[in-house]
Structure 1
Amino acid sequence: MTTFTGLHHADEPLLLPCAWDHASALALAAHGFRAVGTTSLAVAAAAGLPDGAAATREQTLRLARTLGPGPFLLSVDAEGGFSDDPDEVAGLARELCAAGAAGINLEDGLGPADRHAAKIAAVRAAAPGLFVNARTDTHWLGDGEGTTRRLDAYLGAGAHGVFVPGLTDPREIAALVRGLDGVPLNILHSPAGPSVRHLADLGVRRVSLGSLLYRRALGAAVEAAAGIRAGLAPQGAVPSYDEVQALGRRARDEDDGTASSERPWYG
């Protein structure tokens, strides 16, 4: 079986779509995505809570337990670990491993680099089989200053890969790749930024879609409702009731080894 770490060193970069529930994850996996992530924005929004506020630990674990047994490798967006205490973050990592997760994404939120490094080291010690993707928010929340210093600290603490969302300039991406000397760089896909093919040419090894699919789904739902109100027919793929039901049946069949080889609309 292909390992999650191995996907970061394959011929093509890992394109990681992010799901928000069981159906979205199974539909993505059925379409050939070997790994699926979660998006903290969707977890928070579904619970009526703010993203990035360390408020969704239990909801994140609940989703991981739902998706962990699925026919894909799971990476969990865990914000900053939902705590400033490295031991508590390590406990979360153990629970994610037990749920079946293959990776964890931890963001620094521009907090102290040594504190984030301590969290990474604690996760590595508590859950050595978990791929740790260390995110710095220097470009997401700041002007990019200190990126290399922070990444060096996180790699020194044992991170397997690094994530710099908000970085879109091709020259800066290429320079960062060179400085990482083979460590997988993760970039957040931006519709206005380089294409996945361009990012691959620059040496990026992982391209995350973040909350994009969830936000597109929300937009499509509102657009469809407003269109119907205006007398228009919905556009785009619309799975039937039975096809969505089949996602649940597929998961149960895979659990008992009786999955059908037929691929419905989402495959």
Structure 2
Amino acid sequence: MMLTPADKRAAFRKLHESGCFIIPNPFDVGSAKALQHLGFKALASTSAGFAWSIAKADNRVTVDDVCDHLAAICAAVDIPVNADFEDGFAHEPDKVGANVARAVKTGVAGLSIEDFTGDNARPLFDYALAIERIRAARKAIDADKSGVLLTGRCEAFLRGQKDLKLVIDRLTAYAEAGADCLYAPGISTPEEISAVVKAVHPKPVNLLVGAAGPSLKAAADLGIRRISVGGALARAAWGGFMRAAREMAEQGTFTELGNGFPGGELNKMFS
């Protein structure tokens, strides 16, 4: 029996109460169902991975694209889904709130709002505006008592501003504005991670990990509650595809196809 959105949201909040869990990032319905099959307890969408799956660059999808994608994934799996909701697909707080209300209706258990403007010349929203955007998201989530978990996300490290004080100032402000979970993609050293965890305690922190980074146990020892991998699984999938396709295009040979996952096992998993 499929769980209701309320069931999934309650389970998602429970996951954040103690310990540390991996929340991997599928890029379509098939990859979402595969990750559930492998036993993960929750999933998170990836803006980049989804964009590439529909032949768009990251940060170039529409709110309609994303809401349709989220609804499809939430309907396909029986575990909570957290939405990478980028910048809320708007700058103004009231429009962010309206879009968040749309996202809530897709069945997501959580969503994140980031402070990246989309302009690399001025990458972060002004401090006061960034806080108001989190407040607007919180208000939209609370309007129908949905219980969706809100993650406040500071993009400074990803956008070339490796200023830990700035990150901590923003994350603590986002927590005060109503974020349930905090996230600063790009922090990586034990010192940076510990400082962020301590600053927003007792609220949980999400850590982004790629090919390099702490293990689940090491992250848990630093106080991290949740580990996501962003577009890394999508890049891994594209890596296999592009290696095989390039070999065919450039050499006329097919050896890389031998590294594919067995079709029989895929059929069994999706049957």
TM-score by length of 2: 0.83
**1:261 alignment counterpart:** none
In structure 2, C-alpha distance between the alignment counterparts of 1:10 and 1:143, rounded to whole Å: 29
* Distance 1:235-1:149 versus aligned 2 partners, 3 A rule: same
Task: Report whether the alignment pairs 1:143 with 2:143.
Answer: no
Deviation at 1:161, TM superposition (A): 0.7
In structure 2, C-alpha distance between the alignment counterparts of 1:7 and 1:239, rounded to whole Å: 33
In structure 1, C-alpha distance between the alignment counterparts of 2:111 and 2:55, rounded to whole Å: 23
Structure 1 stretch displaced more, 142-151 or 156-165: 142-151
The one-letter amino acid of 1:21's match is: D
* Distance 1:231-1:20 versus aligned 2 partners, 3 A rule: closer
**1:167 alignment counterpart:** 187
Deviation at 1:242, TM superposition (A): 6.9
**1:211 alignment counterpart:** 231
% identical equivalent positions:
29
**1:91 alignment counterpart:** 98
Asked if the contact 1:81–1:89 (Cα under 8 Å) also holds between the matched residues in 2, the reply is yes
In structure 1, C-alpha distance between the alignment counterparts of 2:242 and 2:63, rounded to whole Å: 29
**1:254 alignment counterpart:** none
Q: How does 1:28-67 map to 2 (within 5 A)?
A: 28-53=35-60, 55-67=61-73
**1:176 alignment counterpart:** 196
Per-residue CA deviation, residues 41-91 of structure 1 (Å, 9 max, x unaligned), is: 1222233333235x4211111101101222110111111101012222222
Say which SS state the counterpart of residue 162 (structure 1) adopts: strand
Q: Which runs of 5+ in 1 are unaligned?
A: 250-267
Asked if the contact 1:114–1:153 (Cα under 8 Å) also holds between the matched residues in 2, the reply is no
Asked if the contact 1:37–1:74 (Cα under 8 Å) also holds between the matched residues in 2, the reply is yes
Q: How does 1:224-263 map to 2 (within 5 A)?
A: 224-226=244-246, 229-232=252-255, 233-240=257-264, 243=267, 247=270
Asked if the contact 1:8–1:206 (Cα under 8 Å) also holds between the matched residues in 2, the reply is yes
* Distance 1:234-1:183 versus aligned 2 partners, 3 A rule: same
**2:177 alignment counterpart:** 157
* Distance 1:231-1:83 versus aligned 2 partners, 3 A rule: closer
In structure 2, C-alpha distance between the alignment counterparts of 1:83 and 1:27, rounded to whole Å: 32
In structure 2, C-alpha distance between the alignment counterparts of 1:231 and 1:154, rounded to whole Å: 51
Asked if the contact 1:113–1:153 (Cα under 8 Å) also holds between the matched residues in 2, the reply is no
Aligned length, in residue pairs:
245
Per-residue CA deviation, residues 104-150 of structure 1 (Å, 9 max, x unaligned), is: 01111122222222122112112122111111012111112401111
RMSD (Å), alpha carbons: 2.0
Q: From 99, 108, 112, give the equivalent of 2:115.
A: 108
* Distance 1:113-1:6 versus aligned 2 partners, 3 A rule: farther
Deviation at 1:193, TM superposition (A): 2.2
Q: Which runs of 5+ in 2 are unaligned?
A: 1-6, 117-123
Asked if the contact 2:25–2:228 (Cα under 8 Å) also holds between the matched residues in 1, the reply is yes
Structure 1 stretch displaced more, 157-166 or 219-228: 219-228
Say which SS state the counterpart of residue 175 (structure 2) adopts: helix
Deviation at 1:195, TM superposition (A): 2.0
* Distance 1:134-1:231 versus aligned 2 partners, 3 A rule: same
Q: From 185, 207, 210, give the equivalent of 1:190.
A: 210
* Distance 1:167-1:242 versus aligned 2 partners, 3 A rule: closer
Deviation at 1:216, TM superposition (A): 0.3
Name the one with the larger helix percent.
Answer: 2
